[in-house]
Amino acid sequence: MSPPLTTLPDPSGFAPHFVIDPDIVYLNHGSFGACSEEILRAQDTHRRNAERELVDFYVHNAWPLLDRSRRALGSLVKCAPEDLVFVHNATTGVASIATNHHLNPGDEILITNAAYPACANNLRRAADRAGASVNVVNLPWPNVTEDLIIDTIMGAVTPKTKLCMLSLVVSSLGYRLPVETLIPKLREQGIETILDAAHGPGCIPMDIETWNPAYTTGNAHKWLCAPKGAAFLHVRKDLQHGFRPLVLSNDARNPEEAGKRTGRSAFNHEFDYAGTDDVSPYLTIADAIQWLSSLFDDGMEGLMAHNHALCMRGRDALLDVLNIEAPVPESMLGPLCTLPIGSLSQNVNDIKAALRKDHKIEVPVWTAPDGSPILRISAQLYNTEAQYTYLARALDTLRA
């Protein structure tokens, strides 16, 4: 057991807004997000409004409230609101795409070795059913550059490649893929892109309309701090006709006609009511954006810049103690940063357990897709620079 450090570092001024246990140094916003008190209260208000008059809520009131969140999200990720629908998580987003996108026998889907497993699994099932296959390309790690990524991914394209899934921010390696270059390059070769932006809204600036992927899914329950079960799916206009939710509901036999009743497209209508459900996570997305935007003079841009700068200060503290060069240029990072920890002699499970049990630090310690040990830090409002210094000192005691 490594010797315990002194007292835990002071939390940030924003920490009292969050429900997170103050006795844990929580450096893992990236895995599940964390809600603020304000956001949980907003969700509670939506739930109570529903429970006061359920028929009014489900038959009338929920629709404009869904549109309110759709507008707030559309303006953040830069797309027409009506091209967005809500799903419970990015996994469901990819599963919906996998079910709807037509594949022919022999087609190939290109993914990276750092694709999120749940999303990759849904594509594999779709490929199996269609007699298609999934081709995996290895992302660079460490010594990462945008050019290297572009060459690596484009070099893995074959004449059979028809669909490609790219993470906007790669979960395990923490870096952003140059999607603004990759998506048009792939499309020039007849390949459509699924953009997995689970770490997207509120994490780094997004511009769906300019990037123009066929499909985008992203979580609001990560970097927008929305309640769990709040995510979106964007489908490019030319692919929306006949794009159906995984679960068909009452109006599935004539969604166009039903959509006229609720003043929306068949695409919006079918996703907006997929059976009785708690839609409060979706409705709270607008409140989460509003609250986060209110904290900085320049709104969400300010929040993203704050979290990125904090993450970089944390990275510097860790590079120092690990005595390594940065594996990824700063320009490819947002509020997440992964570092190689091969200089520590323990295995990843022992490091993880020591950090959690001896030092009360929650931080992911994993193996990278290439099998090498890594650690990923996240930076969100409730974190402070002192917490990363504390982590650095904890790693130092492990080395000793």
Contact footprint for ligand PLP (CB under 6 A): 89-91, 116, 118-119, 167, 171, 196, 198-199, 219
Going from the C-alpha of 67 to that of each of 46, 81, 283, 313, the distances in angstroms are 14, 8, 9, 38
Three-class DSSP category at 234: strand
Report the 10 Å Cβ neighbour count for 141. Answer: 21
* Nearest to ligand PLP of 162, 199 (CB atom): 199
CB of 204 to ligand PLP, least distance (A): 12
CB of 75 to ligand PLP, least distance (A): 22
Q: Which residues contact 316 (CB under 8 A, 6 or more apart)?
A: none
CB of 94 to ligand PLP, least distance (A): 7
CB of 118 to ligand PLP, least distance (A): 5
CB of 58 to ligand PLP, least distance (A): 25
* Nearest to ligand PLP of 115, 292 (CB atom): 115
* Nearest to ligand PLP of 255, 369 (CB atom): 369
* Residue 52: both structure tokens together: 């006061």
* Nearest to ligand PLP of 58, 366 (CB atom): 366
Handedness of CA 20, 21, 26, 30 (dihedral sign): negative
* Nearest to ligand PLP of 29, 269 (CB atom): 29
User: What counts of helices (H) and strands (E) characterise the chain?
Assistant: 15, 12
Residue whose C-alpha is closest to residue 199's, from 227, 172, 238, 163:
172
CB of 297 to ligand PLP, least distance (A): 30
* Nearest to ligand PLP of 170, 266 (CB atom): 170
3-state helix, strand, coil in the chain (%, to 5): 45, 15, 40
Distance from C-alpha of 43 to C-alpha of 40, rounded to nearest angstrom: 5
Q: Name the DSSP letter for residue 143.
A: S
